[in-house]
Structure 1
Amino acid sequence: MWGVKVDGRVERGEQTRRQILRRAADIASVEGLEGLSIGRLATELEVSKSGVFAHFGSKEELQLATVRAAAAIFVARVVDPAMAAPAGLERLALLLDGWLAYSEERTFPGGCFFYAVQAEFDARPGRVRDQLVELDARWHALVRDTAADVPGVGDPGQLAFELVAFLELANAQSVLHGDQRAYDRARAAVRGRLADFRR
């Protein structure tokens, strides 16, 4: 055929990188980004330390790549399905429900990856914090802009603030207290808040 020949070593390298980052994101969601180490990942994935190091070069680069990988998983799991819906209340409801399912179904074992790692870096200047700040701002802007497309919403920024607070509290209560009912409460709170705009 006319297809381009793919170097098997390159493909294997990319596959290994994806496996490393997926495992790193799972660990970080429970233990934080500081819990990551090249040695630990090499041992758990049964690859050489030098192989892991070659992909990232430093702990900070590993942390940054892990955040990017988690963001890609989040977008695929939460954002993309909602964006397929028409703009307005349906899209906003899907976005919020998608976030709750992402946390409740433990896409990452520690609940929301970003909720888990933000507290670790919120007062620590540097590239990792900058990346987390940017991603958090993008999420809040997405919820706000999606809310702005709902007829009757007076202050989309305020509504977004309240809705995100419901989501994050459900995640926190579930992770800290093992309270799975928190997701039902958050869904009820979201429905109650959005009911104002269904009339």
Structure 2
Amino acid sequence: MAKGEATRGVILDEAGRLMRRVGLGGLTIGSLATQTGMSKSGLFAHFGSKESLQLQVVEHNTERFTLEVIRPALKAPRGEPRVRALFANWLEWDSAEGGCPLVAAAFELDDQPGPLRDRLVSNQRDWTDTIAMIFTGGITEGQFRPDADPRQFAQDLEGVMLAFHLTSRLLSDPEAGARARTTLDRLLAAAAA
């Protein structure tokens, strides 16, 4: 990896941490300069504009989400173990300081057209497809009913995850994780073959 790429990666990691605290709208070249101790002109040379910075941070967080949540889950056996691994990894990701930056950005930009929202829409579709694909593996393995609807399961699981995000982040409910796992158990029991 070239020095410039390594520097960009470090900056994007820091920008991701900042985004978890201030939201995507609060992430500016100026706020990142303050956070990193770098000059605005130096950061501008890396990103060119606030929108470019924000888009690259969303891309960077998407890559990190894939590496920390999805790929490790794919190592679990197909079917229910893989669904549980995906869910556990997501809970851990969302439990980090500041929560899931992609969920926060989705709420922030849900009605603001433009490239950032377009990227988040693409992320969400990919995420829903991933959940559905992993669930379909459980149907193929005979662990879930053949008539179970993978898209419905994906939406239901996403609902559990969003409820966890709100109850743990906004309400600071210490039981949010336990409730989320109980709901996952119920979803899996309803889908069982």
Q: Does 1:181 align with 2:175?
A: yes
1:140 aligns with one of 120, 124, 128: 128
d(CA) in 2 for partners of 1:116, 1:197:
30
d(CA) in 2 for partners of 1:192, 1:45:
45
TM-score, structure 1 as length reference:
0.88
> Following superposition of structure 1 onto structure 2, how do residues 65-144 of structure 1 map, counting pairs within 5 Å?
65-104=56-95, 106=96, 109-144=97-132
* Uncovered stretches (5+) of structure 1, i.e. residues with no partner: 1-5
Q: Does 1:190 align with 2:178?
A: no
> Following superposition of structure 1 onto structure 2, how do residues 2-81 of structure 1 map, counting pairs within 5 Å?
10-11=2-3, 13-81=4-72
Where 1:34 maps in the other structure, the secondary structure is: coil
The alpha-carbon deviation at position 198 of structure 1 amounts to 5.1
Deviation >6 Å, runs of 4+:
none
Q: CA RMSD in A?
A: 1.6
The alpha-carbon deviation at position 46 of structure 1 amounts to 1.5
Of 23-32 and 92-101, deviating more is 23-32
d(CA) in 2 for partners of 1:35, 1:86:
41
> Quick one: which amino acid aligns to residue 128 of structure 1?
L
Which residue number in structure 1 is paired with residue 153 of structure 2? 159
d(CA) in 1 for partners of 2:106, 2:22:
12
